[in-house]
Amino acid sequence: MKFALVDGHRREAAPGLSGMCPIHGHPMIAKCGEIRVWHWAHQGSPSCDPWWETETEWHRSWKGQFPEEWQEVIHKAEQGEKHIADVKTKRGWAIEFQHSYIKPEERRLREAFYSKLIWVVHGLRRTRDLDQFTRAWHAGRPVGQNQNIRTVFSDECTLLREWAGNAAPVFFDFGHEALVWWLLHKSPSNLVYIMPFSRAEFIGIHRVDVSPEADNFDRLVKEVGSLIARYESQLSQGPPLRSFMKDLDRRGFRRRRL
């Protein structure tokens, strides 16, 4: 964990500090070595949150894009179950930065628990994923005349096979300075829709407390599946996704070329 309670206040790990777990109050010790990122560990026991994964510099870099009070927020369900969200925004989105492989069953549990969940998936964990994704993208078919939304076969990329059909929004991070990749939707034909998305705009959308962009992102997430379904069923009548792409532009979500 990045934070523990020290004298009742959230503190990052530092040499010589001891703290308490923010969920159950168990003793924690500061791990401040030279190899792994400095972090808090439970003293003599595993993490109190079974959904927690070992943090990397990649996790910390993403968390650091958001205010500290939004990081590692305890989310409690009505039944009393508690988990720690990597980031919890003012608009109620839990953002989970996922580096390691996660079973589909656990993904579904987390999505049901948080209700509004966004996955940011590290695309460089396996050396083959970037090459497979790049080949799938370039072999994919543009939607209409738009080169920045494409349909690709999920079978051609392990990462896409693992995440295609996911209920919550999924963004892949391949370390590109300007872009992340939004996995929009999976069709019955085993095709997936993918769109590059500005990294800065992704962060900016969620950092603001109340803005038209934030409202529109909520609505887009709800609408995108039905819009693509209509596109697939009504191609002969003129793709309704064209209006969807114009809607993206009106809302300020500009798609950028590779």
Residues 73 and 27 in one domain: no
The pLDDT mean for the chain works out to 81
Burial (CB count <10 Å: 0-12, 13-18, 19+), residue 114: buried
Q: pTM score > 0.85 for this model?
A: no
Residues 153 and 253 in one domain: yes
196 DSSP 8-state letter: E
Residues 140 and 188 in one domain: yes
Phi, psi angle pair for 254, to nearest 5°: -85, 130
Instruction: Write down the residue that tokens 């958001």 correspond to.
Output: 66
Angle at 56 between CA 13 and CA 198, to 5 degrees: 115
Whose CA is closest to 73, among 3, 9, 158, 137? 3
Residue 162 has pLDDT above 70, yes or no: yes
CA-to-CA distance for 45 and 245, rounded, in angstroms?
50
Give 205 or 124, the one with higher predicted confidence: 124
Q: For the chain, how far is it from start to end, CA to CA, in angstroms?
A: 35
**In the predicted model, what is the mean pLDDT of residues 98-118?**
92
Residues 18 and 60 in one domain: no
Residues 129 and 168 in one domain: yes
Last residue of a domain, one of 48, 72, 87: 48
Contact in structure between 165 and 186 (CB atoms under 8 Å): yes
Residues 5 and 89 in one domain: no
**In the predicted model, what is the mean pLDDT of residues 40-64?**
80
| pLDDT value, residue 256 | 41
Domain range holding 33?
1-48
Residues 208 and 124 in one domain: yes
Amino acid identity of 54? Answer: T
| pLDDT value, residue 97 | 96
Contact in structure between 149 and 165 (CB atoms under 8 Å): no
Range scoring the smallest mean pLDDT among 9-13, 176-180, 217-221: 217-221
Residues 6+ apart with CB under 8 A from 62: 86, 87, 97, 120, 173
Residues 83 and 138 in one domain: yes
Residues 87 and 210 in one domain: yes
Contact in structure between 94 and 87 (CB atoms under 8 Å): yes
| pLDDT value, residue 249 | 57
To which H or E segment does residue 173 belong? strand 170-173
CA-to-CA distance for 3 and 256, rounded, in angstroms?
36
Residue 117 has pLDDT above 90, yes or no: yes
Which tokens in the block code for residue 141?
A: 């078919």
Residues 146 and 121 in one domain: yes
Residues 147 and 86 in one domain: yes
**Total domains, the chain:** 2
Q: How many CA atoms lie within 13 A of 111 on its CB side?
A: 14
Whose CA is closest to 69, among 121, 23, 1, 3? 3
Phi, psi angle pair for 71, to nearest 5°: -90, 140
Residues 70 and 186 in one domain: yes
Give 68 or 219, the one with higher predicted confidence: 68
| pLDDT value, residue 62 | 95
